[in-house]
Amino acid sequence: MKPPANSWFSSWRQWRKSPALARDKANTLLLLLAGLLVVLPHSSALPWWTSAACLVLMGWRTLLTVTGRRLPSLWILTPISVLLMAAAYLTYHTLLGREAGICMLALLLTCKLLEMHAKRDIFVIIFLSFFLLLTSFFNSQSIASAGWATLATLALLTALLSFQYTGLMPSLWQRIKLAMRILGMAIPLTVIAFFLFPRIQGPLWGLPGDANTGRSGLSNSMTPGNISKLVQSEEIAFRVKFSGALPPKSDLYWRGIVLNQFDGRTWSHTDETQAQADQDAAKDHNAAILNGEAVSQDIILEPSGQAWLFALDIPAAAPSKAGLLVKLNHQRELSSVTEINSRLRYSVVSHTSYRLQAQLSASDLQSSLYLPPNYNPKTRNYAASLKQGVSNPQQAIVAVLNLFRNENFSYTLEPPLLGTNSVDDFLFGSRAGFCEHYSSAFVVLMRAMGIPARVVTGYQGGSLNQIDNQLEVRQSDAHAWAEVWLNGRGWVRLDPTAAVAPERIQKNLGATQAASGLAGLIQLSMNQNSWLGSSLNGLRMRWNAANNSWNLWVLNYDQGKQFDLVRALGLEGFDWTQLSLIAFLLIGLAMAAMALPFMLNRPQVTPIDRLYLDLCQKMARKGFPRLPHEAPRTYSLRLQKLVPAPQYGALQSFILAYSAAKYGKTMGSDSALLKQLKVLFARCR
């Protein structure tokens, strides 16, 4: 059966047979491509339905363009827009805020693509795309994000230029080169503004309450499953540069949060009041005896939305950094007064050999032995039976570690769900878990046997980048271990996970988890013993080193570094108003330097042409302008019908002489011709 002539199939077939796209179609498809480059960076942060709706609407617009169909009417677009806005409100429960605002912008942009009826609509789409592209830096500010934004900007500029041409349009490559020149002209201005424009401490405008959502990192509590979810992320938590040799892998415990409260299922941190903090600072200033060699670390901490800082176990003192107040409490936790929502660089000194709180206060002793009643009865009974067979705390510790080491316990990222009595279910049921399961069960057994104990969370290990010689600690290195208090020795670190999976401590998490399927093939290819694995690992290190340099020199260029630059330039005596004027002056000089080549390369007007142009301007003021496409003789013939005969004779003589001098074969010199034209021009006056 032959399809009707006006069907979608016939339109598509006709488009396929056409030798080239029409000009407006090609420009519209270029604009759609630029819009796609703008929306794609947001796909990982937006809800799945938003990304799907944007792709469907853009695909619809593409189909309408290539088939030559009319755009949908407002009766169709209005219900679609209302439904999408309603879906955004149901998702975020607001239409304000960062995430909801970006979602709205993406939906409005794709809906506007279906309503391009005039040139101003094109400009609205392009400038809305520029704004949406800017918001992509809320999610990522890496080199890759900057490169993608540059590519999208180039596509938008090319689309904008394409819609400006009314006559003959250059090829696509010529338009791209022109857009690249425009971007190149903006680079000097960008560099000057980056270094000299006054940096205000904090954002230029108040960010909404959800501006720092989506951060990954350790929290103030630990429930079975928390860390196992976190370690599936390969995001970098912090980077470390050692002033000396790299400590052994078994010493790379990065102390974070001490969890001392237990409600039967969840471990949580005890928040101190200011009075308690001051009392602890005075009482426990010398509570830690530091032994061995000091290990100096220069740490670059990624933003986490938390107040915790990390250091090698244990830090000797709180790091000092201008503009940031960091506290070190008696539990040797480092914390900032404010949340860490931007990259932070600090230096800290640690000692891996120490004695912490050899004497414990009655309140600390009581809190480190507390177990909630009516929870985990099997574990309590088992601890009571173990206690009868030991004579001191050291033997109790060995007995519990032997339980994990010799019984059928396994280390896995996907343990079964646990019930209300989570420790009972783990010890006498599943016997499969991650570090939080083993540390939690170990501390509960210790407390049930009368030994003070607590859980400590942080990170363990890290991978050395051979390019910049920095240790990269990732979220996949998140870890939980235990501390027990022994009389005369203080708090002693013990890691129950090492009894079950020692390769987790000596190597890394990947050494304990056997991947299957496609993940297994990728893991096999990444094996450093193979040529491919070694090459890929080298590329990864170089990329991470480049990102680290980008973070240090670009993203971390803050007010303090700008002050250093101002001092280095000898401008410390100027205030911000004067510095702003200097910045604008330099920008003006840069613009003048960029405009000078264009002015020098401007086509020169000959004296003969200048006389003719002066005549055309004179006639235009009289009401007889020359049309852009008119040659001199054509213009003369038209003037013959408009200008009285006495005046036209002088005009005709001048124009004929100009045409002969300009286009004919003249026998005289240029100066003689110019002199003759000046005489005729004077008669025209």
Could you say which of 364, 435, 437, 684 is catalytic?
435
Peptide bond into 314 cis (omega under 30): yes
| Furthest C-alpha separation in the chain | 132
> Three-state SS for 368?
coil
For residue 221, what are the β-bridge partners? 268
495 in active site: yes
DSSP readout, 424-457? HHIIIII-EE-HHHHHHHHHHHHHHTT--EEEEE
Could you say which of 54, 364, 479, 684 is catalytic?
479
Check if the beta carbon of residue 111 is closer than 8 Å to that of residue 84. Answer: yes
State the Cα–Cα distance between residues 498 and 506, nearest whole angstrom: 9
684 in active site: no
State the Cα–Cα distance between residues 333 and 309, nearest whole angstrom: 8
Q: Which long-range contacts (CB under 8 A, 24 or more apart) does 503-509 make?
A: 504/411, 504/435, 504/460, 505/249, 505/250, 505/460, 505/461, 506/249, 506/250, 507/249, 507/461, 508/461, 508/463, 508/476, 508/477, 509/231, 509/476, 509/477
For residue 321, what are the β-bridge partners? 324
CA distances from 610 to 336, 533, 581, 604, 617 (A): 72, 71, 40, 10, 10
278 in active site: no
Residue 419: which H helix or E strand, with range? none
DSSP readout, 472-541? EEEGGGEEEEEEEEETTTEEEEE-HHHHH-HHHHHS-GGGT----HHHHHHHHHT-TTSHHHHHHHHHHH
Q: Which residues of 197-214 are buried (b: 16+ CB within 10 A; e: fewer)?
A: eebeeeeeeeeeeeebee
Neighbours of 95 (CB within 10 A): 12
Centroid of chain to Cα 345: 18
State the Cα–Cα distance between residues 657 and 607, nearest whole angstrom: 14
Residue 312: which H helix or E strand, with range? strand 311-312
Neighbours of 147 (CB within 10 A): 10
Provide the annotated active-site residues: 435, 479, 495
